[in-house]
Amino acid sequence: MTTDTGTTTLCGASSETNITQVQFLVMSALLGALVGVLFIFVQPWFGMDTLTSRHAALYQQLGGWSAVPALVIAWLAHSAVSVFYGVLSGILILKTQRLPLVAFFTLAFSWVTTVIAPPANALIVQLVSFQRIDVGKLPGLNFDLDVKFVLHLVFFAAIVLGLFAYQRKSGTAEVSR
């Protein structure tokens, strides 16, 4: 909702404390990064090797990277994607405050990222390992409702809940343009 003062209301009520949309999106990016780190540390609890360790091993094997640079690149790639997803979630919240719509898109983002994760991850490995992009070597889409979907759902839900908590804690009923 836009008021006549040029601010966008996030919580539906006026407040003396305003943050800008840029500040809100910076917080979205920070939450994406934080939740991305937690995502990696939670994966072994589900019997999975971490995404960063799998990527680093492939960078070493296919690209000839040594261990430390491979791990750093794996973390940078994962962090960049996590920050992007955080900002995407922040934009969603800026555009709508309707909880059913936010919940629907959180579910949709979780599903889409689960579906595209295998080929997207393999493509990143090909790029970082300086391999020729070979679409034929990419794994298929993952349509399974499995632990990967649950992890993606928890990832996006944590960001969205964190952003709503940020709004409430900071008393940010309005975001200035």
Element (H, E) at 174: strand 174-176
| Between 9 and 58, residue with greater pLDDT | 58
CB atoms within 10 A of CB 143: 10
Q: What is the pLDDT of residues 158-170, one digit of tens each?
A: 999 999 999 887 7
Q: Does 21 or 33 have the greater pLDDT score? A: 33
**Structure confidence at residue 172 (pLDDT):** 54
Mean pLDDT of 25-43: 97
What's residue 12's pLDDT? 45
Enumerate long-range contacts of 62-71, CB under 8 Å, 24 or more apart: 62/125, 62/126, 62/129, 62/131, 63/128, 63/129, 63/130, 63/131, 64/129, 65/128, 65/129
Cβ partners under 8 Å of residue 76, min gap 6 = none
**pLDDT value of residue 167:** 85
Per-residue model confidence (pLDDT) at position 61? 94
* pLDDT score for 6: 45
What band does 16 get if pLDDT is binned at 50, 70 and 90? very low
pTM of the model: 0.84
